[in-house]
Structure 1
Amino acid sequence: MIEQLPTLPAGVLGFRMRDLVTAQDYESVMVPDIEAAFALNPKLRLVVHVGDDFVGFAPGAMWDDVKLGFRHISGWERTALVTDVGWIRVMSSMFGFAMPTQFKLFTNAEFEEAVRWVASP
């Protein structure tokens, strides 16, 4: 499941991933919100929180994530990933440098710091 994060600063879009994340979650929640944000602004600041209640990605969900990232490859200004999920932290540490954005990894306890970092000028 993917939910939009409420009450973020202006210009910051955020999502929380929990339970099992499916391709349908991307298509019904993330894609419309991100496309709407890009229609208003050529650059996007993003917070993604993968909480302790996250159990994994269904087949196809990771591919939708990759497609969404590449569709707007030059539009990602700053991205914060907030998670304590071990394998996601390892993968992000290994491949974060290749993301077309300023990217920073935070723990769940650092959620507020992540939001401040993404929103800062």
Structure 2
Amino acid sequence: MLEHMDYLPRHVLGMHAVGSVTNKDYENALHPLLSEQVKQNGRINFLLVLETNIQNFTAGAWCGNIEIGLKYFLRWNKLAIVTDQKSFREFSHLFKYILPGKYKGYPLEELDQAVKWITEK
């Protein structure tokens, strides 16, 4: 499930992934929020807190992830991934070679630092 972290500043979209994450989560929770983020700010500052095993993402969710990356290709400004899954944090660093913008990975214990970085203008 993807839960909106609605306490962040308006120029930042935050999502918290827990349990199973499906393509419907992307369609119902993430797509509308990303669209609104682009309308309001023109750019996307995205914080993903991943407190579920990456294996809990269905194949459809992975496809949705790729689709979102491409749909908003030139809109990415900052992306912070917060997870204790070191391999996923390291994988997220590959985004800097594929998508424009800045990317950082943080362990869960550094969530405050991730929020600070992603909210800086």
Normalised to the residue count of structure 1, the TM-score between the two structures is 0.90
Maintained 8 Å contact 2:92/2:104: no
Encode CA deviations 1:84-119: one digit per residue, 9 max, x unaligned.
1243124224x1332322001111011111011011
Identity of aligned residues (%): 26
RMSD after superposition: 1.4
Maintained 8 Å contact 2:26/2:61: yes
Q: Which runs of 5+ in 2 are unaligned?
A: none
The whole-number CA distance in structure 1 between the counterparts of 2:68 and 2:95 is 16
1:97 corresponding residue in structure 2 = 96
Alignment coverage as a number of residue pairs: 119
The whole-number CA distance in structure 2 between the counterparts of 1:62 and 1:3 is 17
The whole-number CA distance in structure 2 between the counterparts of 1:68 and 1:35 is 10
Deviating above 3 A after TM superposition, structure 1's stretches of 4 or more consecutive aligned residues are: none
Q: Which runs of 5+ in 1 are unaligned?
A: none
The whole-number CA distance in structure 1 between the counterparts of 2:7 and 2:108 is 17
Normalised to the residue count of structure 2, the TM-score between the two structures is 0.90
